[in-house]
Amino acid sequence: MTTRVITNIGELTTNNPAFGDETAMGRLWDAALVVNDEEVLWVGATRDAPEADEKIDADGCAVIPGFVDSHTHLVFAGERSDEFEARMAGTPYNGGGIRRTVAATRAASSDELRRVTTKRCDELRAGGVTTLEIKTGYDLTVAGESRLIDLAGEFSDEVTFLGAHLVPEEFAHDRASYVDLVKGPMLDACSQAKWIDVFCDAGAFDVDESRAILEVGRAAGMGLRVHGNQLGNTGGVALAVSFDAASVDHCNFLSASDVEALASSTTVATMLPGADFSTRAAYSSARRLLDAGVVVALATDCNPGTSYVTSMAFCIAIAVRDMHLSVDEALWAATAGGAAALRRDDVGGLAIGGRADLVILDAPRAAHLAYRPGASLVRQVMRST
């Protein structure tokens, strides 16, 4: 197995307090690290770097862990730019456009879905994402959701069944039957997914419906995730915490009890700044959550209606500018925070024995991710095989 030593790293962020400055960022300067095709083997100063089969000179550039994007909806057909234009002109977001994507996705062939998903995945990878989660939820039939599970599995091991994304048109007058379908035949057909998610919010699924779906998913051995409190204080956050869900995502509307519950739980609050940007929503309360001791993640929420975003650097810049995080807090949330949201300890950092997932930036410091929004700052992405 080939070993590689990366030397002359101007600023190395490891997210490991055992290294360097012994902060949460585990930061070293004039640093080096050694990796093979699978894992990190050594971290230290350039002057102490051991020999390896190959040598990469970072030439003073910064190195960070690969981004962990813990919330995406990559497998879909069509686009909804007209909805974006309407929102920018003042039309409020209500979630109903999901049905347009459902229609387009149902009509698309598997080859077409594979082609467009590959393009989106390649964009995320080129921007430094080395681990990503992919949800279903744009077919909402038994056979269709199963097809999306299989397609998503071609791109990631972190696949989420989201049959409870929205009630489709054909069940508009019989919600109970659709919930039963999700809990029964649809979940059975999608049981190979690692996770189950539910959109617990206004216009989607209420707390009782969401609870019933999560209970069945948990009994089937799936990990739990929740879309919660994006459109109102609708109980999604409290529900997620009560189930010890790995993550509750959006969190735009939070009561004091929601914040307290999250702070005393292991549920990660995943912020989706691309969605807030694209819907003209008030930005999620990341600062409030961090100050309360909640673990926060950042993700792209790449989807056709409310966050057609494939740049984690863009999300970091928004989090710093409009969610009042420091650059270090935003970077940690996009790496180690995302790993926590997926309950992974092998990604999101550069620990000895962890996956060799890293990004060499074309910049001397990681702060340039927010300092230079819109710039193409990824010089090289290395991802464990």
Strands 129-135 and 158-164: parallel
Q: What is the reported pTM?
A: 0.97
Span 242-298, pLDDT tens digits: 999 999 999 999 999 999 999 999 999 999 999 999 999 999 999 999 999 999 999
Span 218-243, pLDDT tens digits: 999 999 999 999 999 999 999 999 99
The residue-averaged pLDDT of 46-66 equals 97
- The CATH number of the domain holding residue 356 is 2.30.40.10
pLDDT score recorded for residue 241: 98
The residue-averaged pLDDT of 54-68 equals 98
The residue-averaged pLDDT of 1-15 equals 97
């002057």: which residue's tokens? 47
**Residues 355 and 265 grouped into a single domain:** no
Residue 170 phi, psi (nearest 5) = -70, -10
Contact predicate 39/384, CB 8 Å: yes
**Residues 141 and 33 grouped into a single domain:** no
pLDDT score recorded for residue 384: 94
Span 138-157, pLDDT tens digits: 999 999 999 999 999 999 99
Please report which confidence band the pLDDT of residue 94 belongs to, taking 50, 70 and 90 as the band edges. confident
**Residues 242 and 361 grouped into a single domain:** no
**Residues 52 and 95 grouped into a single domain:** no
pLDDT score recorded for residue 96: 75
Q: Supply the range of the domain harboring residue 355.
A: 4-66+349-382
**Residues 56 and 114 grouped into a single domain:** no
pLDDT score recorded for residue 92: 86
- CA 361, 367, 369: angle at the middle one, nearest 5? 60
**Residues 52 and 126 grouped into a single domain:** no
Query: Partners of 196 in the beta sheet?
Result: 161, 224
Mean of per-residue pLDDT scores for the chain? 97
Please report which confidence band the pLDDT of residue 7 belongs to, taking 50, 70 and 90 as the band edges. very high
- The answer, yes or no, to whether residue 61 has pLDDT greater than 80, is yes
**Residues 62 and 77 grouped into a single domain:** no
Give the span between the Cα atoms of 27 and 38, in whole angstroms: 22
Work out how many domains the chain is built from and give that number. 2
**Residues 100 and 159 grouped into a single domain:** yes
Span 97-111, pLDDT tens digits: 999 999 999 999 999
**Residues 156 and 214 grouped into a single domain:** yes
């921007």: which residue's tokens? 127
Span 176-185, pLDDT tens digits: 999 999 999 9
What percentage of the chain exceeds 90 in pLDDT? 97
Strands 378-382 and 67-69: unpaired
Span 18-38, pLDDT tens digits: 999 989 999 999 999 999 999
